[in-house]
Amino acid sequence: MRRKKARRREYTPEFRREAVQLMNDRLDAGTSLAQIGRDLDLEPDVLRKWAAIWVNGWLMRAASLLRRLR
């Protein structure tokens, strides 16, 4: 008998952004990434990935703005 394939959960961009902000605030307060992931029911690697995407996107927008201002 085959097991049903687990369906991938999808998250809105707003949820991802808020999760990254919460992660950063709680890391600054000394909470471990593993605990933050458990609290949000997410794997720590997912939070790391979202944070990297958010930071890279922000840096790319900032660099683009600087180029336009020059």
The pLDDT tens digits of the residues spanning 22-67 come to: 999 999 999 999 999 999 999 999 999 999 888 877 767 777 777 7
Amino acid identity, residue 68? R
Which two tokens mark 56?
């890279």
**pLDDT score at 43:** 95
Question: Residue 1: pLDDT above 70?
Answer: no
pTM of the full structure: 0.70
Measure the CA–CA gap between 15 and 2, rounded to whole angstroms: 33
Domain residue ranges of the chain, discontinuous segments joined by +: 13-69
Instruction: Give how far the C-alpha of residue 42 lies from the chain's centroid of Cα atoms, to the nearest Å.
Output: 10
**pLDDT score at 2:** 67
